[in-house]
């Protein structure tokens, strides 16, 4: 992971803007990972806060460049946890580690 100009490149597959995210504000999460590379027609983000509390699953938007993104309201107190699935219920969980981004006040 590295941070550059309020962008959090968790790896080459996932990007969070802004990072760290602000509590009760929106952050854009972009996915360009294995499911997209495998030709998934739809990608869903599954997310929760502060250790997977208050989980939600939402369909992401495909951009003209082919990547998927969505805006998430940061309702947690310290972190947003997330992973991805496609319409065939194949999951990308970052080899079981999932992803997370910090939430600040």
Instruction: List the chain pLDDT tens, one digit each, 105 residues.
Output: 444 445 555 578 999 999 899 999 999 999 999 999 999 999 999 999 999 999 999 999 999 999 999 999 999 999 999 999 999 999 999 999 999 999 998
Domains contained in the chain, number: 1
User: Is the distance from CB of 91 to CB of 83 less than 8 angstroms?
Assistant: yes
User: Is the distance from CB of 28 to CB of 14 less than 8 angstroms?
Assistant: no
CA–CA distance, 44 with 89 (Å, rounded to integer): 9
Q: What is the pLDDT of residue 10?
A: 57
CATH number at residue 98: 2.60.40.10
The structure tokens 């699935």 sit at 85
Q: What is the pLDDT of residues 21-36, one digit of tens each?
A: 999 999 999 999 999 9
Record the tokens describing residue 73, joined without a space: 């309201």
Question: Domain residues for 57?
Answer: 2-104
């Amino acid at each position: 992971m590295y941070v550059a100009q309020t962008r959090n490149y968790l790896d080459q597959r996932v990007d969070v803007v802004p990072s760290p995210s602000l509590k009760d504000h929106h952050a854009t999460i972009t996915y360009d990972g294995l499911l997209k590379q495998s030709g998934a027609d739809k990608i869903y983000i599954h997310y929760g806060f502060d250790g997977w509390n208050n989980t939600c699953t939402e369909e992401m938007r495909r951009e003209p460049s082919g990547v998927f993104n969505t805006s998430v309201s940061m309702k947690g107190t310290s972190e947003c946890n997330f992973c991805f699935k496609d319409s065939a219920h194949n999951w990308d969980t970052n080899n079981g580690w999932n992803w997370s981004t910090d939430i600040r006040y």
